[in-house]
Amino acid sequence: MKRPPLRARLLTALAGDPDGTPRWVRELTNGDDDGYFPDSGAAWTVHAGTATFVAGIRALLIQALHPGAMAGVHDFSRYREDPIGRLTGTVRWVICVTYGSTTQAQRETARVGQLHKRVAGTYETDAGARTYSASDARLVEWVHLAFTEAFLGAHERWGGPIPGGADAYVREWATAGRLMRVENPPHTEAELREKLQGFLVSGELRRDERVDEVVRFLRDVPFTGSMRLAYRVLFAAAVASLPRPYRQLLGVRRTVLPVVTATRLVLAISQRALGSGPRAQDFARERHRRLAREQAGTQPAE
């Protein structure tokens, strides 16, 4: 049987659709406003780049260090049985919030919030059992911080310039944090680093057998063929790009191979494959052009 082209395999993994146009992507053309983020601004730029392939792995590694987040993944996530479904669910939220209208972004955030309502339970600490909930303010903050750090860090290493710099990305993505009910998301890179450091020194983060299980799974996600080889490079890149304190907590080591350079090659090939067809931002720009035409039509003729 002939293998699907690389673009179709990538888009199936990312969007659950070989054309990259499931219903929620097509709906980016709908809506009555430009959305939360400006066209070609910091968030659009970072989330459009293939460095997000590394960032997603990096974010999952960092997030796993919080036992509350890890308990939720262990108890409720189907990542072992359906890793592609788990990935596409996260990609869907990121794409809809970044490129959708405010209505679509809010609707998608509400959908995720409904899924999180059932995520609650207990986990063991040295001091005994502790309860957790996906809606806990501290846990929601950690997930937002880890996401922001991972996507910013990966783009700074493998992406191009960010309009307005790192502070602009942290400031823009704080809007997504507020949508997810983060009480006080950081607005500058320095504030992001300070808040992350607060988690490190608090003793909340730790490695246990559940973390080791997730690391083993992420190291060897069941892709096949060239996708498997490419993914192994991306995983090594995610580990290599992690700040040292997180690597030490996770118990992972940087490879001695030139993984940063190899990753540039993998991402360049992926970018070329994805560039052969429409992207999410193209649908968003179609909405912007429609709104501009509608706005022009309401202006009185001179």
Write out pLDDT tens, residues 68-112.
888 877 776 766 665 666 678 889 999 999 999 999 999 999 999
Question: Which pLDDT score is estimated for 43?
Answer: 98
Question: Which pLDDT score is estimated for 8?
Answer: 77
Average pLDDT of span 142-159: 97
* Distance separating alpha carbons of residues 288 and 33, to the nearest angstrom: 8
Percentage of residues of the chain with pLDDT beyond 70: 91
Which run of H or of E encompasses 224? none
Average pLDDT of span 118-143: 81
Average pLDDT of span 251-258: 93
Instruction: Please indicate whether residue 34 or residue 256 has the higher confidence score (pLDDT).
Output: 34
Question: Which pLDDT score is estimated for 62?
Answer: 95
Q: What is the pLDDT of residues 224-243, one digit of tens each?
A: 888 889 999 999 999 999 99
Task: Categorize the per-residue pLDDT at 299 as very low, low, confident or very high, splitting at 50, 70 and 90.
Answer: low
pTM for the predicted model, two decimal places: 0.91
Question: Which pLDDT score is estimated for 3?
Answer: 60
Average pLDDT of span 117-133: 76
Question: Which pLDDT score is estimated for 225?
Answer: 84
Question: Which pLDDT score is estimated for 120?
Answer: 82
* Distance separating alpha carbons of residues 38 and 171, to the nearest angstrom: 13
Question: Which pLDDT score is estimated for 68?
Answer: 86
pLDDT value at 282 more than 50 = yes
| Angle (deg, nearest 10), helices 52-63 and 259-274 | 120
**What number of residues does the chain have?**
302
Q: Of 212, 216, 221, 239, give the one whose Cα is nearest residue 65.
A: 212
Question: Which pLDDT score is estimated for 127?
Answer: 66
pLDDT value at 1 more than 60 = no
Mean pLDDT of the chain: 89
